[in-house]
Amino acid sequence: MLKIFIGADHAGTELKEKIKKALVSDGYNIEDLSPSASEDGDDYPDYAFAVGEQVAKDEESRGILVCDTGIGMAMAANKVKNIRAALVSNIFSAKRSREHNDANIIVFGSELIKPADALEATRYFLELIFPYSERHNRRINKIKYYETHGRIPGK
- Catalytic residue of the set 10, 67, 136, 149: 67
Active site residue 149: no
30 φ, ψ to 5°? -110, 130
Active site residue 100: yes
Q: In what order do the strands lie in the sheet with 62-67?
A: 29-32, 3-8, 62-67, 105-109, 85-87
Secondary structure of 53-110 as H, E, C letters = HHHHHCCCCEEEEEECCCHHHHHHHCCCCCCCEEECCCHHHHHHHHHCCCCCEEEEEC
Q: Is 65 in contact with 7 (CB distance < 8 Å)?
A: yes
**Distance from C-alpha of 143 to C-alpha of 125, rounded to nearest angstrom:** 20
Active site residues: 67, 100
